[in-house]
Structure 1
Amino acid sequence: MPGLVNALVIVAVATLVIVRQCRARAIDSDRRWWLMPVVLAAAALREPGMVDAHHRWASVLLLTVELLIGLATGAGWAWTSRVWREPDGVVWSRSSKASVAVWILGVALRAGLFGLGVLLGVHQDSSALLLALAGTLLVRSAILAWRAQSLPSATGPAAAYGDAMPRPAWKERV
């Protein structure tokens, strides 16, 4: 039953996070952005079946690669998200189409890794996926918080659309 509960938690958290990130959201770098990933990691680590006792080294290798894919997905997701500061000083973020591509690539790599584990006969528990999801969210949140803090402050007038466009040269009429 814990495997089913972990699977449901993974689906619920992934759905919630993806749906929330497709809309623009204010980033509050002072809040506890690390709390949900830590709770997910604690839930994953409390399960005893993360490493297959019969294929210990292959299981640890698959788990390590799973974690690396999760960390890379989180970093890619954070760096492809758009981050901006409004004139009132609030920092916002929104995932882009490239962020969706990062998610699809991460899911495809994880599916391939699961398939490799099946071919090797390694038992893979859902807690490994839950731990990788926690790593993904932790890295993404940390990078977004850092990006939000590194944005320039909105003290001057806000840039308007077209401000960076070159202006046409003055033409005289004869």
Structure 2
Amino acid sequence: MTATVFAALAVTGITACGSDTSEDSAAPGSTAAATSGSAHDHSTVAAPAPQELQATLDGFVDPAKPTADKAKLVVDGQRRAANIDTMTQGLANYGAITFAVSDIKTEGETATAQVVVTSPHGAAPATPMTWQHSDTGWQISDQSACTILAMGRAPCQG
């Protein structure tokens, strides 16, 4: 059931982002740099490495990590503490979940990447997830956290 929910979300996400892949491949970073540079001066944030974004996802689903630590990995994560608790309880005996992060695009202080989630039930299709840069580093966006929480049967209500 969890894999089915995630697969449905992934198909929706891929459809929404499918058209801009070829543009970004033709001119990597040039469009984003021109757009974000004119908007504000916060465009000097270095693009994150796949391992850096993957570490936030790994920490978010780590059953040994306290909820307070997981909440710090998410933008405004304190408001999702109850969801995180529910997900952690649900994943306690679930088995290993791994993430593969690729195709990172950065615009200003926002990064988007394609993420493949693999669970004991197999791999879900790649889906776009986003992160926001803050003083503490890259944090998972609330929307992306809610995607993961839904997979862990702890869906966000608002």
TM over 0.5, shorter chain: no
Structure whose CA Rg is larger: 1
Normalising to structure 1: TM-score of the pair? 0.27
TM-score, with normalisation over the residues of structure 2? 0.29
Q: Which structure features the higher share of helix residues?
A: 1
Identify the structure with the greater strand proportion. Answer: 2
- The one of the two structures with greater contact order (alpha-carbon pairs below 8 A, sep at least 6) is 1
